[in-house]
Amino acid sequence: MAIDLRLDINEVALLSDLYELTVSSALFARDMNEPAAFELALRRMPPNRGFMIAAGIERVLEVLEQLRFDAAAIAYLDSLQIFKPAFLDYLAKFRFRGDVRAIAEGEVFFAGEPILEIYAPLVEAQIAETLVLNQAGFAAMVATKAARCVGAAQGRRVVDFGMRRAQGADAALIAARSSYLAGFAGTSNLLAGLRYGIPVFGTMSHSFVMAHDSELAAFEAFSSSFAAPVTILADTYDTLRGVENAAKVAARLRESGAKLGGIRLDSGNLQALSIRTRKILDQHGLGETAIFASGNLDEYRIAELLAARAPIDAFGVGTALAVSDDAPAGDFTYKLVEYKGQPRLKLSEGKASTPGRKQVFRASAAAGGYIGDLVSALDESAVTVAKVLKAPPSQIKPILEVQMERGVRRLPRPALNEIRAWAAAAVARLDPRWRMLRKPVEYPVRNSAAIHAMIISEKVRADRRQL
């Protein structure tokens, strides 16, 4: 018996808004299927974000390679009595055969620049829209949130504890993978551990303590159950008395040559409690026992705790990470920029798009730090770009790479740990002003003169399109 909490490969093509297919069927019926370019971009930076981390790109590429409308999908679409048989036949044979240029997963990006371009027959590029937005958008939001937490933690370990509050099963998997990619030490999510090879972490539940008649007995039972050092949860009742009980257990463990890994504080004033906990542990000679904090943490709270010198060695971040709570959705768009070799734009109020196929060039200083990005037309010369970016060509790189040609991936699939290393290196190249947790300075992203000229000429042309 199938359960609802599942997603089969053959269903993925229907993870689509109806209009993608109605529009496609109208285009198909008119043979309007010339090459088109659509761009994924972030319209504006989310609140307090000075940089974004790309994620979800690998999944998008994987799905595009596998996209199929199976018999059940076709039968369902037929039942809607919207689509003509010729279009349903086309869908039944549908394969994505387009080209994809995209930023590398783990790279930093900013609002106002394309991070993924699909260049394909119009209908193929249209059909990909909902999937691209759904998958690459949230993954980037949570990778970015995670990178901010890692930055705030100043080298201390941060672990994803968010699955229970994540928006469904897929979100929990995306959050675990994206946060690891962005520098988290691991996750509590076992399925993410299995799928992605991410280290899994866990401490102890309140229920375990509550089920025992004595807290001390619970701590002893737990710590003697495992060969490796465990982390004990101290706040089920009175936290500091819990810490005293944990210290007793640690002292006994030491006598037998074992040790306590850490103490977890999950509620109350973590700053005051961590200081008192550290004192108690040190009084018992337990300098090596770590303090692990959790409970409504996010990058802001972590920064506050460390600014107040809270002696916390590691952080568990749950809800705030898993739903990217101060920015649960990014303003990502997927817009047609060229059709039949001609630039296209929309002028909708507050939602205008930038026409034409593009490349984004990123300049670095000699020491490696990023300086700024230039959004250019596809055919602009390296000399022009170097002049505008005021950097030698050797310090300028195009960030959109050919990832897929005619539906086949061209670049080797990077391992998650490589992506993680790349993300760490990319964030390190950002000036601290762009990494500030609140009101960061805006990273310079400019349009080239050619792009500006195209915007002006396309506005005129768009005007004529309404006559």
List binders of its own copies among 15-34 (CB under 8 A).
15-23, 25-27, 29-30, 32
Q: Which of 164, 309, 390, 406 binds its own copies (CB under 8 A)?
A: 164
Strands 290-293 and 314-317: parallel
Nearer of residues 154 and 464 to its own copies, judged by Cβ:
464
Residues 281-300: x where in contact with its own copies by CB under 8 A, - otherwise, as a string = --------------x-----
Regarding 44 and contact with its own copies (CB under 8 A), the answer is no
Based on CB atoms, which residue is closest to its own copies, 231 or 395? 231
Token digits for 345? 């734009």
Smallest separation (angstroms) from its own copies to the CB of 115:
15
* Bridge partners (DSSP) listed for residue 404: 100, 409
Q: Residue with structure tokens 């159950």?
A: 225
Q: Is 76 in the site for its own copies (CB under 8 A)?
A: yes
Q: Which helix (H) or strand (E) holds 175?
A: helix 169-181
Scanning 301-309, 337-345, 364-372, 389-397 for contacts with its own copies by CB under 8 A, the matching segment is: 337-345
User: Between 335 and 429, whose beta carbon lies closer to its own copies?
Assistant: 335
Per rule CB under 8 A, count of chain residues that contact its own copies: 133
143 membership: H or E segment, kind and range: helix 129-152
**DSSP helix/strand/coil, 106:** coil
By the rule CB under 8 A, 248 interacts with its own copies: no
- At residue 123, the 3 state secondary structure works out as helix
Judged by CB under 8 A, the residue of 49, 335, 358, 435 near its own copies is 335
In the complex, the smallest distance separating the C-beta of residue 391 from its own copies, rounded to whole angstroms, is 35
395 contact partners, CB below 8 Å, separation of at least 6: 363, 364, 365, 366
Contacts of its own copies in 84-123 (CB under 8 A)? 122
SS3 188: coil
Start-to-end Cα distance in the chain: 57
State yes or no: residue 47 binds its own copies (CB under 8 A). Answer: no
Q: Does 324 bind its own copies (CB under 8 A)?
A: yes
Contact pick of 44, 66, 392, 406 for its own copies (by CB under 8 A): 66
DSSP designation for 81: T
Residue 92, token pair as written in the block: 């039944």
Instruction: Report d(CA 4, CA 420) in Å as an integer.
Output: 33
Report the site for its own copies in 423-442 (rule: CB under 8 A): none
DSSP string of 291-335, one letter each residue: EEE-SS--HHHHHHHHHTT----EEEE-HHHHTTTTSSS--EEEE
Ranges within 350-379 binding its own copies (CB under 8 A): 350-351
Residue 130 binds its own copies (CB under 8 A):
yes
Among 51, 96, 184, 332, binds its own copies (CB under 8 A): 332
CB of 441 to its own copies, least distance (A): 26
